[in-house]
C-alpha cells in the first residue's frame, strides 16, 4: 500500500471538522512529497533540526506543525514558518515564542499541552498551571501568540477505556478553559488528540486535529 493510498484511507474515516496532520518525523522528503501529491498539506515534526532541514526542500504551501518538546533556545529556527506549535507547556516558552514571532512580524498559533496520561514521562501542564498562566499579567501582555486550543497524548495501552477517559478529560479541560478565558475568542477551537492507534476514539471524544504517522508512512526506524 502506497503513502497516497494510506492518506486517502485515513481521510475517509475522518469527519469534515477533523483535520489530519501527517506526522513525518524520521521519514525522508520523498515520502512527504508522495503525501503532498495525494493532497496532504499539514505535516507534523517533533525535532527542530529535522524540521528546519526538510522545510526548504518542500513546497511553500506545506503547513508545518511542531508536535514535540520544544526547547526555548531553538524556537528562533522555526519561528519564521511554523504554522502551529502543539506543545506549549510553560509561560517561559510562550514568552520566547512571542518574541521570535514579533521579530518575524507574525503571530504564531499555539496549543497548550496537557498531561493526561498515566505515564509520568509525558510532557504537559495541569489545568491549574494553565489557569495560572492564562491569568498572569505576563501572558496577557503577549501579542504575537494566539492560543488556539489544547493538545494531549493518551497512555500507551491497549485498554480503550483508559484512552477514552483520558481524551474525555482533555475535552473537558478544553471546555472549561473556553468558558473561563476564551468564550469570546473564536480562535480557541482546536483539540489535538489521537495518533495511529487511538485516533478513532479521539475523534469520538471531540478531536479536531489528529496526528498520524505510522499508519500513513509505515513503522519508524530509530537508528
Ligand atoms: C510520533 C507522534 C505522533 C504519531 O504517532 P503514530 O503512532 O506514528 O501515529 C503523534 N503525536 C506525537 C506528539 C508524536 O510524537
Segment 167-206, tens digit of pLDDT: 999 999 999 999 999 999 999 999 999 999 999 999 999 9
Which residues share a beta bridge with 148? none
> Is the C-beta atom of 20 inside 6 A of ligand 1?
no
Range of the domain at 211: 3-217
Contact 134, 100 (CB under 8 A): no
Instruction: Judge residue 1's burial from the number of C-beta atoms within 10 Å of its C-beta, 0-12 exposed, 13-18 middle, 19 or more buried.
Output: exposed
pLDDT beyond 90 at 136: yes
Q: What is the pLDDT of residue 120?
A: 77
In a domain, 222, yes or no: no
In a domain, 163, yes or no: yes
The rounded mean pLDDT for the chain is 96
Look at ligand 1, atom 12, and give the residue with the nearest C-alpha: 67
Domain tally, the chain = 1
Contact 109, 82 (CB under 8 A): no
Instruction: Judge residue 110's burial from the number of C-beta atoms within 10 Å of its C-beta, 0-12 exposed, 13-18 middle, 19 or more buried.
Output: buried
In a domain, 39, yes or no: yes
| Residue 187 CB-half CA count within 13 A | 11
- For residue 139, the CA-to-ligand 1 centroid distance in Å is 29
Q: What is the pLDDT of residue 221?
A: 80
Q: What is the pLDDT of residue 78?
A: 98
Q: What is the pLDDT of residue 220?
A: 87
In a domain, 201, yes or no: yes
What percentage of the chain exceeds 70 in pLDDT? 99
pLDDT beyond 90 at 134: yes
pLDDT beyond 90 at 223: no
In a domain, 223, yes or no: no
Enter the C-alpha cell of residue 157. Answer: 495501552
Cell 494553565 maps to which residue?
130
- For residue 195, the CA-to-ligand 1 centroid distance in Å is 6
pLDDT beyond 80 at 122: no
In a domain, 208, yes or no: yes
Strands (E) in 10-142, as ranges, are 19-23, 42-45, 63-66, 84-88, 108-114
Query: Tell me: the pLDDT tens digits for 59-117?
Result: 999 999 999 999 999 999 999 999 999 999 999 999 999 999 999 999 999 999 999 98
> Is the C-beta atom of 196 inside 6 A of ligand 1?
yes
- For residue 67, the CA-to-ligand 1 centroid distance in Å is 8
- For residue 25, the CA-to-ligand 1 centroid distance in Å is 8
Cα angle, residue 46 at apex, residues 24 and 106 outer, rounded to 5°: 100
Whichever domain contains 80, its CATH number is: 3.20.20.10
Contact 188, 171 (CB under 8 A): no
Q: What is the pLDDT of residue 30?
A: 98
**Which contiguous run of DSSP H or E holds residue 35?**
helix 29-37
Number of helical (H) and strand (E) elements in the chain, helices listed first: 10, 8
In a domain, 102, yes or no: yes
Amino acid at each position: 500500500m502506497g503513502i497516497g493510498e494510506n492518506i486517502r484511507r485515513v481521510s475517509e474515516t475522518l469527519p469534515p471538522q477533523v483535520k489530519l496532520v501527517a506526522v513525518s518525523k524520521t521519514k525522508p522528503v520523498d515520502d512527504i512529497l508522495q503525501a503532498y501529491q495525494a493532497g496532504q498539506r499539514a505535516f507534523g515534526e517533533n525535532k527542530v533540526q529535522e524540521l528546519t532541514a526538510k522545510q526548504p526542500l518542500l513546497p511553500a504551501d506545506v503547513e508545518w506543525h511542531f508536535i514535540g518538546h520544544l526547547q526555548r533556545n531553538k524556537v528562533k529556527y522555526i519561528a519564521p514558518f511554523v504554522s502551529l506549535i502543539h506543545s506549549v507547556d510553560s509561560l517561559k516558552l510562550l514568552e520566547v515564542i512571542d518574541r521570535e514571532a514579533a521579530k518575524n512580524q507574525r503571530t504564531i498559533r499555539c496549543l497548550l499541552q496537557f498531561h493526561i496520561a498515566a505515564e509520568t514521562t509525558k510532557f504537559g501542564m495541569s489545568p491549574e498551571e494553565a489557569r495560572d498562566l492564562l491569568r498572569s499579567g505576563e501572558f496577557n501582555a503577549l501579542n504575537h501568540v494566539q492560543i488556539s486550543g489544547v493538545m494531549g497524548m493518551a497512555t500507551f495501552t491497549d485498554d480503550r477505556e483508559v484512552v477514552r477517559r483520558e481524551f474525555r478529560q482533555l475535552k473537558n479541560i478544553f471546555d472549561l478553559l473556553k468558558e473561563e478565558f476564551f468564550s469570546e475568542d473564536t480562535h480557541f477551537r482546536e483539540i489535538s488528540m489521537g495518533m495511529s492507534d487511538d485516533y478513532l476514539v479521539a475523534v469520538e471524544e471531540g478531536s479536531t486535529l489528529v496526528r498520524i504517522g505510522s499508519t500513513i508512512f509505515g513503522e519508524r526506524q530509530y537508528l
